[in-house]
Amino acid sequence: MKNHLLVRRYVEGLAGALKSEEEYARVHGELAAFCGLLESHRTLGPILFRPFLATSRKAAIVREILDREKASAKTCRFLLLLVHHRRLDILAAVVRHLPVRWKEGQGVRTFEVRSVVPLKAGQRARLEEELRRLEGTAVSCDYGLDPALVGGLSVKRGNLVYDVSLKGQLERLKSVIQER
């Protein structure tokens, strides 16, 4: 829970500092690339996550990489802020959540849609139109597969859940039976 709140705070701050779609795209891309570098490089990640390495040394390593990649000033400031506060471990979560927060700032609500099989284009269009009607604003859907659903859909945005899956119906039936 604490980590989720921390990630949200950093994402809110970063999204608020971005002024245009182009700047957002560049910073998000640079952060994602740096995150990928940390995950794929055999020694870099372990060095930067080492608790006993001085923060100043970590910052120097990050600065050198960012200079070589010609990263934007905002990307540099944000990554160095994470290093300074010993929060580099939340970078992957920030990269994952930034697009949702950015879209929300632009007035677009993002839904996480899970189904057992991939939805066809027509099904996606109908679902997005219905969500647009329910929300009264533009929507974006992040589609994915979840074989545990057995059948149907699960549509989530924050704490709001539209669960029309067979698994969800069975769980509701189970709770009704247990209450009796």
78-135 tens-digit pLDDT: 999 999 999 999 999 999 999 988 988 888 888 888 988 898 999 999 989 988 998 8
103, 124, 143: which is the final residue of a domain?
A: 103
| Tokens read off for 154 | 């699960």
Say yes or no: 123 and 91 in one domain.
Answer: no
| pLDDT at residue 46 is higher than 90 | no
Say yes or no: 134 and 170 in one domain.
Answer: yes
| pLDDT at residue 179 is higher than 90 | no
103, 134, 159: which is the final residue of a domain?
A: 103
| pLDDT at residue 156 is higher than 50 | yes
- As a whole number, mean pLDDT of residues 140-150 equals 84
Say yes or no: 97 and 8 in one domain.
Answer: yes
Q: What is the CATH number of the domain that holds 46?
A: 1.10.520
pLDDT at site 137: 87
pLDDT at site 30: 95
- Among 16, 55, 14, CA closest to 32: 14
Do residues 155 and 139 lie in contact, with contact meaning Cβ atoms separated by under 8 Å? no
Do residues 116 and 150 lie in contact, with contact meaning Cβ atoms separated by under 8 Å? yes
- As a whole number, mean pLDDT of residues 45-53 equals 85
Say yes or no: 58 and 70 in one domain.
Answer: yes
43, 76, 103: which is the final residue of a domain?
A: 103
pLDDT at site 2: 58
- Its domain, for residue 165, covers 107-179
pLDDT at site 98: 93
